[in-house]
Amino acid sequence: MGSLVTATGSYVMAKRAGGRWLLRIEDLDTPRVIPGMTDDILKTLELLGFHWDGEVIYQSRRNRAYQDAINKLRAKGLAYPCGCSRAEIAQIASAPHGNNEGLIYPGTCCDGLTAGKMARAYRVRVDDSLIEFDDGIMGRCTQKLTTSCGDFVVQRADGPFAYHLAAVVDDAESGVNQVVRGSDLLSSTPRQIYLQKLLGYQTPSYFHLPLVTNADGTKLSKRENAISLACGRELTQYGGLLLFSSLRFLGQSPPSFLKNAPCHEILAWAVSSFEPALIPTEDAPLRKG
């Protein structure tokens, strides 16, 4: 349901602005990709009435574009190889926990690998500037990368590129000017804005939607065994109710007669009537009824 809420919010906000809704499969970490799941995602979206614009982008097929970006950063001296393990970083007294995504990197390898070390990753150098942006839902956001994460990873030495780099490159090449996604990515947005600056890209507007949680306030996720929408239910029968519930979660008030309407009718109402100002800022369980 969390994924559906995000899909609904991003789709409606793109269409109400007369924009295109682009679909990207973020399958960078290929060993963790489950065969058949991409087809399941696409089929589920179609059954729920979503129609994307243009071709589907698969990140696993775009390594050349990401490597070009890494090469540009390295050529400018903005990225460097790092031989530190996570355990080694954690042992350094001056590297306390930063945000909830990990440790603050202390810059051990910023002037070169120490003797006997092999590169485990490539990191981007950060500066002490304050990253500021106005999120369309969460309001004014500020962060100093030096005190929140330090020099951050953009590629692992064994190949995979970091999400931050891939998303920035893809957004720029696709002409994305509005990003609508879950608030769990809010704290990583400054890193992406910083990369946009280094690579000469425009910064899109950002809207971070509240997360659907369990009753205890924890995020619904696959790690916590959240059930797939396509598992055990007939989407052609219940899809409209799921969309209706998603819109209510996003602070909207769809008329009750739409509760059992076809998906395309509910989405059409949402495109014409959606009010972003009504989107709540707090994560919450899905409302019933």
Strand 121-124 vs strand 152-156: parallel, antiparallel, or unpaired?
A: antiparallel
User: Is the pLDDT confidence value at 260 over 90?
Assistant: no
Q: Which tens digits make up the pLDDT trace of 21-73? A: 999 999 988 777 888 889 999 999 999 999 999 999 999 999 999 999 999 99
Count of residues making up the chain: 289
| 34 or 252, which is more confident | 252
User: Is the pLDDT confidence value at 150 over 90?
Assistant: yes
| 90 or 130, which is more confident | 130
The predicted pLDDT at position 221 comes to 61
112: left (phi over 0), alpha (psi -120 to 50) or beta: left
Reading the block at residue 98, the tokens are: 């930063």
How sure is the predictor about 78, in pLDDT bands with cuts at 50, 70 and 90? very high
Give the span between the Cα atoms of 29 and 33, in whole angstroms: 7
The predicted pLDDT at position 220 comes to 65
CA distance readout (Å), 100 to 86, 124, 137: 15, 20, 21
Give the span between the Cα atoms of 191 and 126, in whole angstroms: 9
Give the span between the Cα atoms of 124 and 109, in whole angstroms: 11
Give the span between the Cα atoms of 205 and 19, in whole angstroms: 13
The predicted pLDDT at position 37 comes to 87
3-state secondary structure of 58: strand
Q: Are 261 and 188 in contact (CB under 8 A)?
A: no
Burial of residue 130 (number of CB atoms within 10 Å: 0-12, 13-18, 19+):
exposed
Q: If you average pLDDT over residues 103-110, what whole number do you get?
A: 91
The predicted pLDDT at position 35 comes to 85
Q: If you average pLDDT over residues 253-281, what whole number do you get?
A: 96
User: Is the pLDDT confidence value at 170 over 70?
Assistant: yes
Mean pLDDT of the chain: 90
Q: Which tens digits make up the pLDDT trace of 173-230? A: 999 999 999 999 999 999 999 999 999 999 999 999 999 998 776 766 655 555 566 6
Reading the block at residue 122, the tokens are: 């490539």
Residue 222 is which amino acid? K
Q: Which tens digits make up the pLDDT trace of 224-241? A: 555 566 654 567 778 899
User: Is the pLDDT confidence value at 80 over 50?
Assistant: yes
> Angle at the Cα of 60 (from 133 to 206), degrees rounded to 5?
15
User: Is the pLDDT confidence value at 274 over 50?
Assistant: yes
Q: Are 175 and 217 in contact (CB under 8 A)?
A: no
CB under 8 Å to 268, separation ≥6 — which residues? none
The predicted pLDDT at position 157 comes to 80
3-state secondary structure of 118: coil
Residue 200 is which amino acid? G
Q: What domains can be seen in the chain, in order of their start residue? A: 4-58+217-278 (3.40.50.620), 62-209 (3.40.50.620)
Q: If you average pLDDT over residues 81-107, what whole number do you get?
A: 73
